[in-house]
A and B are shown apart, each in its own frame.
Chain A
């Protein structure tokens, strides 16, 4: 007989209350309660060269700014720095700051509000352009790959040609 096991692997009701109070970052008071404090927390990040370098790299990879802002803000919610409400409120400031960084780096970023972009027939060209770019990258990789050496065993030694004999053989080789 097969054991009957619950199909759903969901938390037991009240499981979240089994941890010690204040043992999780999101169960403590947030470090930054207001939007002003959150902005003061985020703005120095955009002066950090390592951070901006990585940010520009992601923008060059056409990651939407809204996605980057979301990752940045929600990770700080998880760490207990501010609430999710403040995260959503701060998002436009983050996106604007990222656009400034993109201007300085000379990158044209994807903001992430262009979801209706692909409904236009004009923008199918953009999809084709991306596909061509992708395939050309792949072909470049193939060209750059070092040529594989032929294994010595596989090289067949040339067999000495035996003179053809028979009715259909050319006359010179018949004898």
Chain B
């Protein structure tokens, strides 16, 4: 069973990587994200931040910020 949790954690890490990749690609294509932009761009913007995994990623980011602060001695 612990293997399942390890897999879940690995999958989450993959999800985070993909999210960062898509974020960077969205940033590069932000100039075409208006009403007249292709539908695919608008969909990705709407879909991000709604799923349960996005919530988890938010919590993990908060904890990581605290970790970084602790490491930097703040």
Contacts and interface: CB of A to CB of B under 8 A. Distances in A.
B53 A89 contact: yes
Given A100-B70, A103-B67, A112 B56 contact: no
Given A35-B52, A69-B5, A92-B8, A100 B60 contact: no
B23 interface: no
B5 A88 contact: yes
Given A35-B56, A89-B52, A104-B70, A96 B63 contact: yes
Interface residues of A, number: 27
B70 A92 contact: no
B60 A113 contact: no
A111 interface: yes
Given A35-B56, A66-B2, A88-B5, A93 B70 contact: no
B30 interface: no
Contacts of A39: 59
Contacts of B55: 35-36
A27 to B, nearest CB: 21
A52 interface: no
Contacts of B53: 89
B6 to A, nearest CB: 4
Interface in B20-61: 52-53, 55-56, 59-60
A67 B8 CA distance: 12
A91 B52 contact: no
B63 A111 contact: no
B19 interface: no
A100 B64 CA distance: 8
Contact of A100 (B8, B52, B66): B66
8 contacts: A64-B6, A70-B2, A70-B4, A70-B5, A92-B12, A93-B63, A100-B63, A100-B67
In the complex, the 4 A-B pairs of residues with the closest C-beta atoms, listed nearest first? A66-B6, A92-B12, A67-B2, A70-B5
Interface of A: 35-36, 39, 64, 66-67, 69-70, 73-74, 88-93, 95-97, 99-100, 103-104, 111-113, 115
